[in-house]
Amino acid sequence: MESFDPTFLRNGVLFFLILVSSLCVHEWAHAWTAWKLGDDTALRAGRVTLNPINHIDLVGTIIFPLVCIFLLQGVFLFGWAKPVPVNVTRFKNLRFDDFLTTFAGPFSNLLIAVGVAIVGGFAQRLDPLFAELTIKTIAVNITLFLFNLLPIPPLDGGRILRVVIGMTWETFARISSWSMIALIVALNLIPGLSNGLGMLMSQLAHPLILISLMIGRA
């Protein structure tokens, strides 16, 4: 029987808390942007809030990430929250406002990564432990940013693609019904695909981590 590893547990819990928090900010960004652009559907549904309870999806926010972290040992870390209800007919500029509302989610994760890189750099001067928290937060949010921008329904990138090419909602829904399962299977079966995505994420995350460490050592 393998001995209990408290470091693995601590890292797993930390990754999980960062992921849940980042997912909630992601969905809040969708809801807040839609509200500001004229659609109060998400506001009336209680989604213009950072309260995790209003955004958590049992499978996507709790079960799937925990399986990834503790059973798959972080080989593939991802999750999702409850989708934000949006009524695009309430937008003044339907296509552009739909694009802004959709892009707001991934963009919020990019902002978190950049903001944490800067603030975390200064925090490291107070306690070196902030370096670990900073690196993990950047990694999680860059992953969410890039993964969500993949042009595959029902991801945000797929929604943006729908707006750009004028895809019907019926086609979008039909593709969404099987695309995520196909993507997960592809990531595990196609040689180099998951590594390629990992390298892309690293290319964006590493400069932010380097900047943060440089600020901390300045």
Could you give the CA distance from residue 139 to residue 205 in angstroms, rounded to a whole number? 6
Half-sphere exposure of 98 (CA within 13 A, CB side): 18
Set 2, 27, 132, 170: catalytic member: 27
The DSSP call for residue 180 is: H
Q: Which residues contact 156 (CB under 8 A, 6 or more apart)?
A: 102, 103, 105, 106, 148, 149
The 3-class SS string of 12-53 reads HHHHHHHHHHHHHHHHHHHHHHHHHCCCCHHHHCCCCCCCHH
Q: Nearest CA to 197 among 157, 143, 152?
A: 143
Could you give the CA distance from residue 182 to residue 79 in angstroms, rounded to a whole number? 16
Confirm whether 27 is a catalytic residue: yes
Active site residues: 27
